[in-house]
Structure 1
Amino acid sequence: MSGAEPVETGPVEARPVAPFGARLAAAMDAHGPLCVGIDPHASLLHAWGLPDDVDGLREFSLRVVDALGGKVAAFKPQAAFFERHGSRGLAVLEEVVAAARAAGSGGTGTLTIVDAKRGDIGSTMGAYAEAFLADGSPLAGDALTVSPYLGFGSLQPAVELAAATGRGLFVLCLTSNKEGFEVQHARTGGPEGAPGGAAGGTVAALMAARAAVLNAGAEPMGSVGLVVGATIGDAVRATGTDLVAVNGPLLAPGVGAQGAGERELATTFGDARRNVLASSSRAVLGAGPGPDELVRAAHAAAREAQEALRS
């Protein structure tokens, strides 16, 4: 969207839609298993010759949507890079979600995962759910990333609203940052037969088990996915996490140029590779600002992910 023309960000009327998992599976089949992160780092804005302000943020983000909408399975705008510019930055995020929604209006168009990693309890979690998952909200894409570390049950308002509106969730499970180990690998000490396995099951296994219950019987896959880093080595095995049983999408940073090839993906995801959505940001965005260069980089990343995941 060169020139950054205004994008309508008003309320979106509710409409019947297929569940997120089914729509994502169709988009991945059509475009390959690639999600392009819209992460307007100051360094990327500078590389594109744009100022690190709201105008640069807007120009950068809408150019990405304009170039790649309808050509990749999903976008993933990272809310933090918009929030750092205050209320005007949030207004840009609303524009980006609206533009991405328009790009994804076809049956196998590009879906939008708002990467906000929200997590809280009670009415506060309910308010987050309404902000990012309710029909009519200008911040509502097709799915939202959430943090379960106040207990998976704390996500219930988001689980219920996502199901009611045909949207999806991606629950943090096994991440590649070294600090994640102390929480995600911790043993729950829960009672025998508790979700996640026997007493002493890991937190990561518990999160996967809860998602599996919500996705049970869904075809071709459920709408409650997990975030699982592609470069976590044998953490899936070490934590006893059953990714196949999840039967939902697995959002995976780190595929391809970011470090994980065929061998690493086989170790991490095993037979669950068919549900992996590879997330790439700088490997694609670094090819900009030209739209043709962005398209070539995205197609190359999608092919690379496809070859690694389907081998």
Structure 2
Amino acid sequence: MSAGPAGTGAGAGEVTTEGAAPAPFGRVLQAAVAAQGPLVAGIDPHAALLTEWSLPDTAAGAREFSLRVLEAVAGRVAAIKPQSAFFERHGSAGVAVLEELLAAARETGVLTILDVKRGDIGSTMAAYAQAHLLPGAPLEADAITVSPYLGTGSLDPAAELATAHGKGLFLLALTSNPDGPQVQHALTGKDTPVALEIARHAERIGGAAPGEWGSAGLVVGATVGDAYRRLGLDAAAPSAPLLAPGVGAQGAGPAEVADVFGERAGQVLVSVSRGFLAAGPDTAALAARADELTGQYR
């Protein structure tokens, strides 16, 4: 993949020069953040939000919701992050809406981080990767969230496909849910926290050139307190972009982002869903909210 920042019309997954190798996702993402700021706009058509927007809780309602959000944020955010579950709940019609959204974002030049949290072994993981990271696949995205909790090696098929096609992965490391530490802080047989092993693996597969972000990032909640630095993830994965949920409705703000991530705060992708989507349904109001949030977290 060779691509420019979001809003340029060259989305991740395209090749700018015939025969040229795809640009790494990390480089493309870094350029998008430099140009548009760190905001990642969640697209989560909850039933309650659809009602608030006077839309039906159907695939058609999710379509109107999603395309309206995309229109509002194009050229204003580093990426969008659709949550696959809120489309899948409408069955095949909902999945078709997700396909349309991903294609429309690609056409518009907006990077997509599809929140699917895929994780499995062998041919099953390969099939998940082909569904989302293979250019031309109906559900193609620029990056996906993945779960390494069947062992970091289980992600190899996704990592290989991502590398080959200029795509990205975000590995769940320190999530914002309260029960996450039960597993993520637990020690391995080497007395290493599980989250630290995941960070080390992201750095290994990220393929970052000097001064650039890797194409394998980490999901680290903005509500995890001192765990990101105390467990050593900052030192273990210095090139990894950090997808940070927990901002807005879950309580974190600019002060928490700075406190949690310290010197790595410049690599944080601020993922906001409810705190952004509440500004709808008016497209102009959504655009203004995106600009406001970008200003707060730049």
Shared fold per TM-score greater than 0.5: yes
Residue type matched to 1:237 in 2?
Answer: R
Matched, 1:115 2:106: no
Name the SS of the counterpart of 2:237 in structure 1: helix
Task: Indicate the residue corresponding to 2:171 in structure 1.
Answer: 171
Percent identity at matched positions? 58
For the aligned residue pairs, the C-alpha RMSD in angstroms reads 1.7
Name the SS of the counterpart of 2:136 in structure 1: coil
* Ranges in structure 2 where 5+ consecutive residues have no aligned partner: 1-11, 16-20
Task: Indicate the residue corresponding to 2:264 in structure 1.
Answer: 272
Matched-pair contact (CA < 8 Å) for 1:256–1:301: no
Task: Indicate the residue corresponding to 1:200 in structure 2.
Answer: 191
Residue of structure 1 aligned with 2:96, choices 84, 91, 94: 91
Residue type matched to 1:59 in 2?
Answer: E
Matched, 1:138 2:138: yes
Residue of structure 2 aligned with 1:247, choices 239, 247, 254: 239
Task: Indicate the residue corresponding to 1:33 in structure 2.
Answer: 38
Name the SS of the counterpart of 1:242 in structure 2: helix
Name the SS of the counterpart of 1:149 in structure 2: coil
Matched-pair contact (CA < 8 Å) for 1:14–1:136: no
| Distance in 2 separating the partners of 1:257 and 1:89 | 25
CA change 1:92–1:243 in 2 (3 A) is farther
| Distance in 2 separating the partners of 1:85 and 1:216 | 37
Task: Indicate the residue corresponding to 1:147 in structure 2.
Answer: 147
How far residue 260 of structure 1 moved from its aligned partner, in angstroms, is 2.4
Residue of structure 2 aligned with 1:60, choices 59, 65, 80: 65
How far residue 262 of structure 1 moved from its aligned partner, in angstroms, is 4.2
Residue type matched to 1:175 in 2?
Answer: T
| Distance in 2 separating the partners of 1:155 and 1:38 | 25
Matched, 1:50 2:55: yes
Residue of structure 1 aligned with 2:229, choices 237, 242, 250: 237
**Could you state the TM-score of these two structures normalised by the residue count of structure 1?**
0.86
1:5-44, aligned counterparts within 5 Å? 15=15, 16-44=21-49
Residue type matched to 1:165 in 2?
Answer: H
Task: Indicate the residue corresponding to 1:194 in structure 2.
Answer: none
Aligned length: 281
**Could you state the TM-score of these two structures normalised by the residue count of structure 2?**
0.90
* Ranges in structure 1 where 5+ consecutive residues have no aligned partner: 1-11, 105-109, 190-198, 307-311
Name the SS of the counterpart of 2:233 in structure 1: coil
CA change 1:13–1:221 in 2 (3 A) is closer
Matched-pair contact (CA < 8 Å) for 1:215–1:246: no
Task: Indicate the residue corresponding to 1:215 in structure 2.
Answer: 206
Matched-pair contact (CA < 8 Å) for 2:41–2:79: yes
How far residue 137 of structure 1 moved from its aligned partner, in angstroms, is 0.2
How far residue 255 of structure 1 moved from its aligned partner, in angstroms, is 3.2
Matched, 1:297 2:263: no
| Distance in 2 separating the partners of 1:246 and 1:94 | 33
How far residue 212 of structure 1 moved from its aligned partner, in angstroms, is 1.3
Deviation string for 1:56-78 (max 9, x for gaps)? Answer: 01111111112212221100000
Task: Indicate the residue corresponding to 2:8 in structure 1.
Answer: none
Matched-pair contact (CA < 8 Å) for 1:209–1:242: no
Name the SS of the counterpart of 2:271 in structure 1: strand
Residue type matched to 1:202 in 2?
Answer: P
How far residue 283 of structure 1 moved from its aligned partner, in angstroms, is 1.3
How far residue 48 of structure 1 moved from its aligned partner, in angstroms, is 0.5
Matched-pair contact (CA < 8 Å) for 2:248–2:274: no
